[in-house]
Amino acid sequence: MTSAHDRILAAVDRLFDDQVLFLERLVRFKSLRNAESAAQDFIAAALKERGFDVRRIRTDAAKIGHHPAFSPATVAYDDSWNIVGRKISTGGGRSLAFNSHVDVVPAGSENRWTSPPFEPRRDGDWLYGRGAGDMKAGLVASIFALDAIAQAGFSLRGDVQVQSVVEEEITGNGAATLFAEGFTADAILSPEPTDEQLVRANAGVIKFRLETRGRPAHPREPESGQSAIDLMIRLIGHLRRLEADWIRQRIGKPLFADLPNPVALTIGTIAGGDWIASIPSDCVAEGRIGFYPGEDPKARAAEVEAFLTQLRTEDPAFAGENLVTLTWVGVMQAGYELPEGTPAEEIFRSAHAVAHAGEGLKSYVMACYLDAAIFAVHGNTPALVYGPVSENIHGIDERVSLSSLKRVTGTLALFAADWCGLDED
């Protein structure tokens, strides 16, 4: 197989300039939530051009919202399309699906970026742009890994899929849609930005919206009102106690025991009030909190609900009726642990070593949601999460290392070759 590996890695090298140009084109699509369709059209056309059988599958809460992999959603999915490109094998090999998300988070204060976030910029080894690392580089790597195998003169013995999904950054319902519709394989590989390490486990996650109701009043008599913003600040302080309790529960969970905060209560958005000189009537905050693999997300959600109910008796500020409303608005998924020593991992370790001149594969824990959990938890499928070195994901001046991207592309190509098996064309 050594000569086949050499030919495939040489093809990765030959194609890499085109790969970076392709990635730059993809970064230019402002594929925010419910605005991914243009980027998905671009991916669909690229896969069709390469001879894939391309399917467009709409995220459809009415059709599969009852499925246990589906999370609560608060937006319409009329134009929420997932793309799957499939190539049927020559036969006899294991199947593989590359799963990536095309949606990105907002760029935030664009004036704080060194250059416009949706205009890719190269600087030495780095390619800048929102989504360049998380995770358009990985999506492109999966496509060009398969390109390299074909250009090296081989075809795969196992069926292969390239999945480009939406909603990873909020609900996971794009991946859940594909899973519920039967787009599975003998192994899933998700090239998220992991600094060329394998994810050994991820956290379960639940996402929520909190609303507080105050009593609006004029500042000449502030004592007659109650600030919804002050209530929200107080409420978040109480939730930090819940977070601390869940952090303490990491004891006895070896993969999470050394993480300073494996649950990470995060308040991501907050808005309140409607006039600068009024005691605010309403405040809304949205956030997420994590928990440990093997735990039921609905049970953890019930703990949060019980905590808020108990708070009404513990803190007089919340004793009134309907002062706090909790709504589940996004991911409600369990975490997973990747068992050590599976055939998929052993083959992947070998592929990594070849592409990295003998360097061993490291692994770590990601205390966040990953679409791979859909396939691992609900399908008991080996789910490998591994991708390039990236910095400032979800931050200012997000960037991906191009030299790392080339190594990752080589690793994905060698894994596909060894997992699925090769025939020479």
Digitized pLDDT (tens) for each residue of the chain, 425 residues in all: 579 999 999 999 999 999 999 999 999 999 999 999 999 999 999 999 999 999 999 999 888 889 999 999 889 999 999 999 999 987 889 999 999 999 999 999 999 999 999 999 999 999 999 999 999 999 999 999 999 999 999 999 999 999 999 999 999 999 999 999 999 999 999 999 999 999 999 999 999 999 999 999 999 999 888 999 999 999 999 999 999 999 999 999 999 999 999 999 999 999 999 999 999 999 999 999 999 999 999 999 999 999 999 999 999 999 978 899 999 999 999 999 999 999 999 999 999 999 999 999 999 999 999 999 999 999 999 999 999 999 999 999 999 999 999 999 999 999 999 999 999 98
What CATH number should be reported for the domain holding residue 220?
3.30.70.360
Instruction: Locate 53 and state its tokens.
Output: 């059988």
169 and 35 assigned to the same domain: yes
The enclosing domain of 377 has a CATH number of 3.40.630.10
Is there a single domain that holds both residue 239 and residue 291?
yes
Distance CA 161, CA 158 (A): 10
My answer on whether 159 and 25 are in the same domain is yes
One domain for residues 305 and 179: no
Of 333, 362, 379, the last residue of a domain is 333
Radius of gyration of the chain (CA): 23
Cα–Cα dist 4/9, whole Å? 9
The answer on 318 and 351 residing in a single domain is no
Domain count, the chain: 2
**Helical H segments across 28-136, by residue range:** 37-49, 61-64
Residues 360 and 258 in one domain: no
Range of the domain at 68: 2-201+336-424
Check whether residue 211 and residue 169 sit in a common domain.
no
Cis bond upstream, residue 366 (ω within 30): no
Q: Are residues 222 and 235 in the same domain?
A: yes
Which pLDDT value is given to residue 320? 79
Distance CA 275, CA 305 (A): 31
> What b/e readout covers 26-41, taking b as 16+ CB neighbours within 10 angstroms?
bbbbbbbbbebbebbe
| Same domain? 222 vs 183 | no
CB atoms within 10 A of CB 1: 12
53 and 191 fall within a common domain = yes
Supply the pLDDT for residue 1. Answer: 58
What is the model's pLDDT at position 74?
A: 86
pTM over 0.85: yes
Q: List the structure tokens of 326.
A: 């909790």
Reduced to 3 states (helix: H, G, I; strand: E, B; else coil), residue 405 is: helix
Domain-terminating residue out of 293, 317, 333: 333
**Is there a single domain that holds both residue 197 and residue 212?**
no
Last residue of a domain, one of 303, 333, 363: 333
Look at residue 62 in the predicted model and tell me its pLDDT. 87
Claim to verify: residue 150 and residue 218 sit in the same structural domain = no
